[in-house]
A and B are shown apart, each in its own frame.
Chain A
């Protein structure tokens, strides 16, 4: 009797304590905001600490685990040249395995324990969206997010967050227009990742080829069997297959189509269209399945989009520039577009860091980002400005040839994320000499 009475008493007491908390979904009156005026965390006289979350293991690791390797090489190059404004860049990479729960943990680790100055290039939509509010509340600059979701471009709600790659809607518009112009009347099938990649890119594609699309299928990154989807697309009679997929699933799509004897014209979006990474994955997956294939031959004819210089583009000054860094710092890694993706990102951040000046604060780096002055290796301009935090604003269309080279089918075109037209863009690109950071 006595025992049950005390149990009830303690349960009631704790219930009362908890009852004082208010509704769990309500917003408290004044939550913390960005701290202005205080010295910025992660910045000393000689060092600036930045962090990122990357899928070094798990479903997105094939391909994407190399992005931070490329970034690190550029930071090493910059640090060896004396750093930016007298500060060396310390780059902390945390593995989140593409698992949102782990993303939250490692980002809190970076902010609370490593005391990073800024988050640079956090990768993934399902992952990074879970730390968006946290980074905003903590006032941490969240630069060059590695995902094409539209949500990074909302300066009102997330003033600290800036995109990087072309968003899926803009890219979908470029793809859609190209397909409409060049594959008029052909049946089109869509295979998309079942998150923002799919929903956002359809917003763009449907502006041009809504009546051509005969079937839409999605895949889940946790399930590596895409046979049901590819079979359904084959049955629908689609002659053009648009794959809005990460590299692993672009490779699976290629292999699965081969297996079931389906030969559509494949159009792969920039996130999955790195020829070198794709070749490697196709061969690796085939080997794991017990067969030998030639990745190069399987990839011939694939149409892709990109907004960065290609490692296979012969005479691009930026490609040669990054190739030199690659040869010096990470010669053991394959020189791929994915590696360059990380290198361009690091270079762009370093440019912003330089523009922010020696007297560095978090506000100053964000001002430098939104100044509209950032111009660099990309094939199209950034959308950064006062009212836009969008990254690259367009893409070019290319095709893989049998000899492994890439042929440009359509020069870079730019557009907006709404229903504006897709138009050519002709501003002269700056060279590595024009935006020299060190040396």
Chain B
């Protein structure tokens, strides 16, 4: 029956189901876990945007942290300077700001490919946070901005604030994912893949290659902007120290870990980003090693796991799961042979 509905309705129903599940999950967990759930949410949309760009369209971006930076500062400035705007308007504007920045970056990027594109986007991640130094009065230099976001309606004040924040984050993330899923399934998704696989063939088939690449950048960076905006909303801060090159690289690493070319991969990647840190911290604490070792162990373990997964499942966690699923679904050939 589901197959007969148009994809947008299926996606919306799925998103609604996910939201209900998540709301239930936030009731079942403590306020701090709610914060982690929300953190997974904003990383998810950032990685999903990157999945569209890198996985579907084949453009590598080492600078997605820069779009998160733009989104976070947009929300921060709006909350501080235009206090009357409700948070959803702030988030929409953060998404738009990320999109506009992506449009500009994409216009330049459409002429580049491979390592040159990676280098150009890397420059964005390195350079953009320095803007805060240029305008210390507006952007508060390297100290960054801190603020308190008022979003909880008076009637819901009894709910812990982190739980409420988790709802808002996931509502925004799921809406954005519905848009992404539709784009990926529709005409744009096909042209993105066509351009990724063979630019010449795509252009012969009537696809405007440059425009498609810019469009991919726009959608992807809008997701980055939203992710940054949600982070600012969640944590009440926007500071250049949070948007280092390491952030951009870890987003890409999470995408590779989760699995390129699928929005599900983005989910596994986002969960890994948040929970690997938690687990490795616990392990480091359990082992009671020397300080210099235990302080750096989480990062080292993350690297090891990344290498192991890429070696064992080149298509990431999602690829591994799909392989497993196929094996479970299809009877083993030799058994079939015995039966006949």
Contact = CB atoms under 8 A, between A and B. Distances in A.
Interface of A: 2-4, 6-7, 10-11, 14-15, 18-29, 56-57, 61, 65-66, 69, 95, 98-102, 104-105, 108-109, 112-113, 125-127, 129-130, 132-134, 137, 193-196, 218, 220-223, 332
Contacts of B22: none
A304 B318 CA distance: 56
A113 B39 contact: no
20 contacts: A14-B175, A21-B88, A24-B85, A24-B89, A24-B233, A25-B147, A26-B83, A65-B295, A66-B291, A101-B237, A112-B30, A112-B162, A125-B143, A126-B143, A129-B146, A133-B146, A134-B236, A195-B142, A220-B142, A220-B240
A113 B160 CA distance: 13
B6 interface: yes
Contacts of A193: 142
Closest 5 CB pairs of A and B: A25-B83, A101-B242, A18-B88, A112-B32, A56-B295
A22 B241 contact: no
Contact of B35 (A18, A112, A220): A112
Contact of A57 (B32, B151, B157, B295): B295
A433 B148 CA distance: 46
Interface in B272-321: 281, 290-292, 295-296, 299
A23 B239 contact: no
Contact of A23 (B35, B84, B157, B236): B84
B253 interface: no
Given A25-B83, A65-B295, A101-B235, A126 B144 contact: yes
Contacts of A7: 8-9, 12
B18 interface: no
Contacts of A57: 295-296, 299
B87 interface: yes
A3 to B, nearest CB: 4
B35 A99 contact: no
A129 B143 contact: yes
A102 B298 CA distance: 14
A65 B291 contact: yes
Contacts of A194: 133, 136, 141-142
B159 to A, nearest CB: 12
Contact of B153 (A6, A20, A27, A95): A20
B127 to A, nearest CB: 11
Contact of A25 (B84, B136, B141, B168): B84
A2 B10 CA distance: 13
Contacts of B6: 2-3
B105 interface: no
Nearest to B274: A105
A100 B144 contact: yes
A73 B6 CA distance: 65
A23 B237 CA distance: 17
Contacts of A3: 5-6, 8-9
Contacts of B129: 222
B44 to A, nearest CB: 16
**Residue among B78, B150, B290 with the most chain A CB within 10 A?**
B150
Nearest to A19: B86
Contacts of A56: 291, 295
Nearest to A134: B236
A132 B146 contact: yes
A27 B154 CA distance: 12
Nearest to A114: B32
A25 B241 contact: no
A99 B142 CA distance: 11
A219 B84 CA distance: 36
Contacts of B242: 99-102
A10 B174 CA distance: 12
B78 A25 contact: yes
B80 interface: yes
A21 B89 CA distance: 11
Contacts of A10: 12, 16
B79 A24 contact: yes
Contacts of B149: 24-25
B79 A28 contact: no
